[in-house]
Structures are given as structure tokens and as C-alpha cells.
């Protein structure tokens, strides 16, 4: 096999033709950031025109979509997907409807677990063994994360190790990786310099390569020289096919085509000049402001999607962004986390790490504070 860029470049159509019926497909992304929109849109187009590929198993960690037609909404055509294993369903309501009416097998597993499971599959381990999900709806004693009656049990098992209970999310082979970066160099290596997130692209690519599958990368640019090695996120040896996407299918998030602040480091001047978007909804503003009062000085704090997004806006208005460090599970550290369909991105972050590594830190107890959104909380 050639590792050079010329052997890997192909059209969208040729890339999608390589995805066979019944295969397991993993996609990267966080809302719209890092999602290979050109590839997933082309899969839907192929299915509508030819009926292929069909009966896929779709695996993803963070929610990827705009709640309407982009992202994983491209997989909402009946017959396209047989099974879905996902960490967040709300941004792809078409998929959710298929699950609700029993048209597909469907699992809702923790987002971080799925990220880490990609890495475990790559390493040939039996799966992800973790405390995350114990005694919740993903625990097999409470349904095992199955979203309907046609979904078989068995992907997660409760086990005992060292006199302690754990959940074992089991490994399975993944046949196709659909990932995204900014640039592919002369060796086919991928960088993410203009992306809002790194996601878990390396873990997905390694999992698929070691499952004997194919890795398809969507990029925006080609580089005719080698990339400095420390900047490579996915080495070319892992990439089978590269597609250069049109700009309209490579927007940085589903809210904006490109926002330079999402990939630029902070400085005293950028923080001083940044203007927070006001929160027009008064109840949301009051809840966000009251929550911001609770963040301790020097805290490492995670913000969830929804109302918690407003904490970043309040903190920016108050000049509090240097009083604590705000983080998102997408991998962004510091700066001012974005809201809405740009959630997952951060303006002027201090660092952007892999989503998988971010969850390692969270799972181990590294957070001092977390604000989580909920529709309803019981007694």
C-alpha cells in the first residue's frame, strides 16, 4: 500500500462506494464542529439514488447535527441504518424517531464511554471498564441503555472486580471511519489547525485500522510538503482515502462558516476586547448568573449544553474568565465557551485536547465544578 497523498485522494462518490452494506461506521464531530458533513451528506445522497449503503451500524460519541438536516440527520432515511450506538440523540431527531417507533436497534451510552471505547477497540482490549453509568438507565440492571424493545441486550455488562462493581462496555469491530481535519499533507497526514475541536479522530482511525476497516478523511486543504511532526493529529499511514470538501460542507461549526477565535490562543487584549452575546431570555439569564456565582475561584469547571452555556456569557460580561477555568467535554480548555449550534467550540481557548483525554480527566474526578442542563429533575 502507498502512503503518499496521490494514492489516497478520491472523489466523494468514489469514497462512498467503498462503504459496503451492513458495515459498522464511526463518525467524528461535536454538534457541527469536526463533523465530516461532505461525507455524511454523500452517503445519504447515494442511498436515496441507489439504495446503498444500507443496514449500517452507526457509532458516534457526541451529538452531531443541527436538529434538522445536517450531521447525523443524513442517516435518518429508513433502511439506511439497522443499529445506532450514540452518546447524544437530540440533534438528530430523525434518527430518534426511528428508534422511538422501533425501526432501528438503538442504544444511548455515555458520550465519554464511547470516546474511550474507540481507544479500547484500537488497543484490542475487551472493552471499556468504568464506573460511569452504574445504577443509571445504561446499567443492564436498568435496561442497559436500550431505547426500544427490539434492541438486544449484551453490549454492556455489570461485573465485579476487586470487590467493586463496574460496567463493561464491550468492544466490537468498526469497519469504516468518517473523520475530518483541516489539511492533508504530502504523506496523507491530517492536521486540525482551523478546526474548533480535535474530537476523537485519532482513536477512531486507529480502531478502524486495527479492525481491518477503511479510514476516510474529509479535509479543506492539501499541503505539498510534510507537516511538522508535532502538528500531525492522524498520521498518513492510518488514512486510506482523502476527500477535499467544498467550503459549504466544511463549515467550522453549524453556526458559523469560520470564526478565527475558535482556534486562536487568548491574550489580555483579546479577552478585554471580546464582547459577550447578551442573553435575551430573562429566566435563562438569571439562572446562568446565579450559577456563575457558585463557581469557586481557581476552579476547573465544566459547562454542559443548554442553559449552562450562559455561564460563559455571564462570566465574560463580568470579566471573570480569568477567575476560573471553563472547560467543555469536547476538549476545549479555558477561554469563553460558545453557545447554540457552536457549542463545543470556545473563543480564545488556552488549549484544545482530544475529547477522549478530556473524559479521562473528568472520570478521574478532576473537576471542581460542573453545571449541567436538564429538562426535568426528580425528587
Grid coordinates representing 202? 485519532
- For the chain, what are the domain ranges? 5-249, 260-371
Task: Divide the 379 residues of the chain into consecutive groups of 10 and give the mean pLDDT of each group.
Answer: 79 97 98 97 98 98 96 98 97 96 98 98 98 98 98 98 97 98 98 96 98 98 97 98 97 97 77 64 92 96 91 92 95 92 94 96 97 86
In sequence order, what are the residues at sequence separation of 6 or more whose Cβ sits closer than 8 angstroms to the Cβ of residue 193? 182, 183, 231, 263
d(CA 31, CA 35) in angstroms, rounded, equals 8
By the 8 A CB rule, do 236 and 3 touch?
Answer: yes
- CATH level 2 (architecture), domain 5-249: 3-Layer(aba) Sandwich (3.40)
Active-site annotation holds for 354: no
Q: Is 18 helix (H, G, I), strand (E, B) or coil?
A: coil
Grid coordinates representing 209? 485500522
Rg (CA), the chain: 20
Residue of 104, 103, 107 whose CA lies nearest to 88 = 107
Measured from the Cβ of residue 161, the count of other Cβ atoms closer than 10 Å reads 9
pLDDT at 276: 62
d(CA 10, CA 250) in angstroms, rounded, equals 17
Instruction: Put residue 135 in one of left, alpha, beta given phi > 0 → left and psi -120 to 50 → alpha.
Output: left
Q: Is 250 helix (H, G, I), strand (E, B) or coil?
A: coil
Query: Are the folds of 5-249 and 260-371 the same?
Result: yes
| CATH class, 260-371 region | alpha beta
Grid coordinates representing 362? 473528568
By the 8 A CB rule, do 32 and 255 touch?
Answer: yes
d(CA 47, CA 35) in angstroms, rounded, equals 19
pLDDT at 275: 58
pLDDT at 377: 84
Which residue is catalytic, options 105, 200, 329, 354? Answer: 329
Q: Which residue has the cell 496523507?
A: 188
pLDDT at 266: 72
CA contacts within 13 A on the Cβ side of 257: 4
* CA-CA-CA-CA torsion sign (241, 21, 84, 42): positive
Instruction: Put residue 113 in one of left, alpha, beta given phi > 0 → left and psi -120 to 50 → alpha.
Output: alpha
pLDDT at 1: 41
Measured from the Cβ of residue 69, the count of other Cβ atoms closer than 10 Å reads 12
pLDDT at 279: 80
By the 8 A CB rule, do 9 and 42 touch?
Answer: no
Measured CA distances, 80 to 56, 150, 173, 186, 266 (Å): 6, 17, 19, 35, 43
- Asked if residue 218 has a cis previous peptide bond (ω within 30° of 0), the answer is no
Amino acid at each position: 500500500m502507498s502512503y503518499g497523498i496521490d494514492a489516497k485522494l478520491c472523489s466523494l462518490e468514489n469514497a462512498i462506494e467503498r462503504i459496503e452494506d451492513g458495515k459498522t461506521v464511526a463518525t467524528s464531530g461535536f454538534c457541527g464542529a469536526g463533523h465530516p458533513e461532505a461525507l455524511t451528506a454523500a452517503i445519504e445522497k447515494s442511498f436515496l439514488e441507489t439504495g446503498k449503503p444500507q443496514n449500517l451500524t452507526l457509532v458516534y460519541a457526541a451529538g452531531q447535527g443541527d436538529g434538522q438536516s445536517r450531521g447525523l440527520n443524513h442517516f435518518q432515511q429508513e433502511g439506511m441504518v439497522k443499529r445506532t450506538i450514540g452518546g447524544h440523540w437530540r440533534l438528530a431527531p430523525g434518527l430518534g424517531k426511528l428508534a422511538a417507533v422501533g425501526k432501528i436497534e438503538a442504544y444511548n451510552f455515555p458520550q465519554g464511554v464511547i470516546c474511550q471505547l474507540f481507544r479500547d477497540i484500537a488497543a484490542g482490549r475487551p472493552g471499556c471498564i468504568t464506573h460511569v453509568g452504574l445504577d443509571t438507565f445504561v446499567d443492564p440492571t436498568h435496561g442497559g441503555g436500550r431505547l426500544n424493545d427490539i434492541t438486544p441486550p449484551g453490549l454492556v455488562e455489570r461485573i465485579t472486580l476487586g470487590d467493586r462493581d463496574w460496567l463493561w462496555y464491550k468492544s466490537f469491530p468498526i469497519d469504516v471511519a468518517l473523520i475530518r481535519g483541516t489539511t492533508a499533507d504530502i504523506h496523507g497526514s491530517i492536521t486540525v489547525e482551523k478546526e474548533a475541536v480535535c474530537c476523537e479522530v485519532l482513536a477512531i482511525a486507529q480502531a478502524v485500522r486495527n479492525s481491518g476497516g477503511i479510514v476516510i478523511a474529509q479535509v479543506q486543504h492539501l499541503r505539498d510538503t510534510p507537516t511538522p511532526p508535532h502538528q500531525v493529529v492522524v498520521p498518513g499511514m492510518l488514512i486510506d482515502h482523502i476527500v477535499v470538501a467544498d467550503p459549504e460542507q466544511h463549515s467550522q461549526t453549524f453556526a458559523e462558516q469560520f470564526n478565527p477565535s475558535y482556534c486562536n490562543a487568548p491574550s489580555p487584549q483579546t479577552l478585554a476586547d471580546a464582547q459577550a452575546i447578551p442573553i435575551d431570555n430573562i429566566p435563562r439569564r438569571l439562572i446562568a448568573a446565579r450559577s456563575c456565582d457558585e463557581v469557586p475561584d481557581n476552579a476547573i469547571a465544566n459547562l454542559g449544553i443548554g442553559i449552562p452555556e450562559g455561564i460563559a456569557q455571564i462570566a465574560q460580561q463580568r470579566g471573570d474568565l480569568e477567575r476560573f477555568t471553563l472547560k467543555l467535554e469536547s476538549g476545549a480548555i479555558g477561554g469563553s465557551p460558545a453557545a447554540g449550534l457552536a457549542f463545543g467550540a470556545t473563543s480564545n481557548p488556552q488549549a484544545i485536547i482530544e475529547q477522549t483525554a478530556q473524559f479521562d480527566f473528568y472520570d478521574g474526578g478532576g473537576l471542581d465544578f460542573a453545571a449541567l442542563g436538564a429538562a426535568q429533575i426528580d425528587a
